[in-house]
Structure 1
Amino acid sequence: MTRVRLRPTMQSDLDYVLTLERDPENLPYITPWEKIQHEAAIRFPDFRHFIVEAGPDLDRAGFLILIGCRNQHLSIELKRMVVQHKHQGFGRAALRVAKKVAFDDLGAHRFWLDVKKRNTRAKALYDSEGFQFEGELREAVKIEGGYDSLVVLSMLQSEFAQRRSRALELQA
């Protein structure tokens, strides 16, 4: 498995985060935030904003944002995950660490996300990592040339525990 860790995003990381969001390779799949939104996410206790560090030297490799970390229903959202270098396993490894954080550290009952329907690579990753289809928000986001739907996926704590018992997840 690719070596990955998450560390809290610092103010000094935000130019890197904004550059990743505005990269033409990523833009079709996300809705970029303004710098002030990222600054708020770093400070607001309900959010966890992380830099993904990966590889032998643990260089910056992307970022991810969790929302709902203080949600009374214990339902945490993976709001965004952007990886700089594709096809190297960093996304899968970061997702596994994010699941561990959500369930083990934050006590989530449910970990969920939505993904643009046309983002088939990300959808395939989430499917292969045990997320279950919940529904589709038809034509929910405006894109160049029309609209795209959002696919809602989730994993429950019991499903995570079952995957862990089969050695499909990081251990506690």
Structure 2
Amino acid sequence: MNAPSSTAVRLRPTMLSDLDEVIAIEQDAHNLPFITPWERTQHEGAVRFPDFRHFIVEAGPGGGRAGFVILQGCRNPHRSVELKRIVLQSKGRGLGRICVRLLKRMAFRDLHAHRFWLDVKTLNTRAHALYASEGFVEEGRLRESVKVADGYDTLIVMSLLDREYEARVAMGLEALPGD
């Protein structure tokens, strides 16, 4: 399947009326092992509280819902913005890469972040590889810090600094399909 172009991907602010679908996407068996799902009230808070940005990912010619993303720390005085969550229904189409690049642009250009960071479970090897290929640097590991079905998993903390992002832009590494 062809990768979508960046013009066919849109991040629109999540509405409270979207939350049933957000919860369903989180609870999907293909996504659940890789995230720690939230209760509806947590999503409601993220939609309403200005420190968060909660978006529905729309993709394709019809702009159908393809997932959601959450940024946290958007008003952080230290300019450290967290990619709290990215959950996509469709895997292996390049949509994750486009979303990560759109979110990096938003973090650094719109929110004026100094540091854009995330954590990822070690069992989520696909996401870890994507983040590394997108310039995120491993800072450390929080050993066995999250409970999973068969025990505990480790979180890998990764970040990208504004000067690293700008260097990637200068090298042409931040281009989006269709740019």
Shorter-chain TM-score: what band?
over 0.9
Residues 1-172 of structure 1 correspond to what in structure 2 (within 5 A)?
2=5, 3-170=8-175
Q: How far apart, CA to CA, are the structure 2 residues paired with 1:40 and 1:66?
A: 12
User: Residues 46-84 of structure 1: CA distance to partner in whole angstroms, max 9, x if unpaired?
Assistant: 000001111222211110000000000000000000011
CA–CA distance in 2 between the matches of 1:145 and 1:11?
33
Q: For 1:22 and 1:83, locate their aligned partners in 2 and report how far apart those are by CA, in whole Å.
A: 12
What RMSD in Å do the two structures reach over aligned CA positions?
A: 1.3
Give the TM-score normalised by structure 1. 0.97
Partner deviation per Cα, 1:72-127 (whole Å, 9 max, x = no partner): 00000000000111111111101110000000000000000000011000001001
The count of aligned residue pairs is 172
3-state SS of the aligned residue for 1:96?
helix
- Whole-Å Cα distance in 2 between the matches of residues 167 and 56 of structure 1? 27
Q: Contact between 1:97 and 1:170, CA under 8 Å: does it hold in 2? A: no
Matched position secondary structure for 2:166: helix
Please identify runs of 4+ aligned residues in structure 1 that moved more than 2 A: none
Equivalent-residue separation in structure 2 for 1:145 and 1:13 (angstroms): 31
> 1:138 Cα deviation (Å)?
0.4
Q: Residue 173 of structure 2 aligns to a residue in which SS?
A: coil
Unpaired runs of 5+ residues, structure 1, are none
Q: Report SS of the residue matched to 2:33.
A: helix
Deviations 1:11-59 (A, max 9, x none): 1111110000000111111011111110110000000000111122221
**1:149, 1:55 → 2: CA distance?**
34
What SS class does the counterpart of residue 36 from structure 1 fall into? Answer: helix
Unaligned runs of 5+ in 2: none
Taking only the aligned residue pairs, the percentage that are identical comes to 62
Kept in 2: contact 1:100–1:170 (CA 8 A): no
8 Å Cα contact 1:110-1:157 kept in structure 2: yes
* Contact 1:115/1:152 (8 A) holds in 2: yes
